[in-house]
Structure 1
Amino acid sequence: MDIRKLQRAIVNGLEDVKAQDIVIFNTEHLSPLFERVIVASGTSNRQTKALAASVREEVKKQGFSVISTEGEDNGEWIIVDCGAAVAHIMQPAIRQYYNLEEIWGDKPVRLKLSQTKTRPQARGPEASTPAKSATSAKKTTATAQKATATKKTTAAKTTTAAKKTTAAKKTIAVKKAAVVKSTTAVKKTAAAKTTGAAKKTAAKSAPAKRPAAKKAASRSKA
């Protein structure tokens, strides 16, 4: 068995599904069971399962056999045992926690990798070009500027509306106060007129009663 062809088949299978941070270690001096440990990351359960399936397919295509696959139930850490080489496909948090590089990584193997395939893809499977990235950055900046301008306009409108509302409230309050004063003045005037009329009536009726009183006095004397 050519271990170099086997490790290349595993790496090709990983790269086909955009595996991240692929590393290869020579473990011949550490274990008699296998000669290579290959570690790679997948961002989700779905991707780690797809990576494992791709590795199996590529290894078999190159004429090698796959002994077993473990960990596909949850997809956090999948081990594909290809005999002389073992692939560990892990999600980033699991990989960081168990740190297999510290256990097996004292003899790394240099192998040319396709960097465009191993880097994370932020916008889907196709790698973005610098021109597209620049255009996207410009669009994002323009959108942010528009959003800021809209917020400022909305704030200005809200402030103007608040000022108008406050002014209207003050005007209404002034009008109410004027109405109250006018009503009070009218009431006072009406009361004054009523009092004056009453006094005049009393004054007119008083002299009419005096002759009657004199007649009564004359009669009593007679």
Structure 2
Amino acid sequence: MQIHEVEHIAQRAAVAAQDKKATDVIVMNVHSLTPMADFFVICSANSRPQVEAVSKAVRDELHEHGITCKGVEGMDEGRWVLLDFGDVVVHVFRPEDREFYHIERLWGDADVYTVGESTT
């Protein structure tokens, strides 16, 4: 899959999260930093039910477009859910966990964009 196609998937995930009222939604282009994924989508949700709703909305949105979720971690705790779509990894955090783990800092060399902003 071409990088601009993967970016489009990441943006769809970000919009789906934002539509469920996730906050501080960003897309990180980590393509040149790790073989793990090309893009991370990171967002915050204020409660366990919202974490679950945002995660479900992202999965449903991408599933509608033929993108299968390869794995889900953290749904039982509802504090940090990781959705693995292969080239795109979505992180849905409770705000305190996002602040604690600060993924944005760990991948500080990545280009960071807001919803709708093009990375390529």
User: Pairwise mapping of residues 1-222 of structure 1 onto structure 2 (< 5 A)?
Assistant: 1=1, 2-113=5-116
Query: Which structure has more strand as a fraction of its residues?
Result: 2
Deviation at 1:91, TM superposition (A): 0.4
Amino acid at match of 1:42: A
In 2, the alpha carbon distance for the partners of 1:43 and 1:97 equals 15
Residues 69, 48 of structure 1: CA spacing in aligned structure 2 closer, same or farther, 3 A cutoff?
same
Q: What whole-Å deviation, never above 9, does each CA across 1:70-128 have from its counterpart, x for those lacking one?
A: 10101000001111010110001001011101112322243445xxxxxxxxxxxxxxx
User: Which of 1 and 2 has higher RCO (CA within 8 Å, sep 6+)?
Assistant: 2
Q: What SS class does the counterpart of residue 75 from structure 2 fall into? A: coil
**Structure 1: gaps of 5 or more residues:** 114-222
| Aligned length in residues | 113
**Match of residue 128 from structure 1:** none
Query: Which structure has more helix as a fraction of its residues?
Result: 1
The TM-score with structure 1 as length reference comes to 0.49
Considering only CA atoms, is the larger Rg found in Structure 1 or Structure 2?
A: 1
In 1, the alpha carbon distance for the partners of 2:65 and 2:71 equals 17
Residues 56, 112 of structure 1: CA spacing in aligned structure 2 closer, same or farther, 3 A cutoff?
closer
Residues 100, 112 of structure 1: CA spacing in aligned structure 2 closer, same or farther, 3 A cutoff?
closer
Residues 25, 93 of structure 1: CA spacing in aligned structure 2 closer, same or farther, 3 A cutoff?
same
Q: What SS class does the counterpart of residue 38 from structure 1 fall into? A: strand
Deviation at 1:13, TM superposition (A): 1.5
8 Å contact 1:76–1:91 — kept in the other structure?
Answer: yes
Amino acid at match of 2:30: T
The TM-score with structure 2 as length reference comes to 0.87
Q: Percent identity?
A: 29
Residues 20, 58 of structure 1: CA spacing in aligned structure 2 closer, same or farther, 3 A cutoff?
same
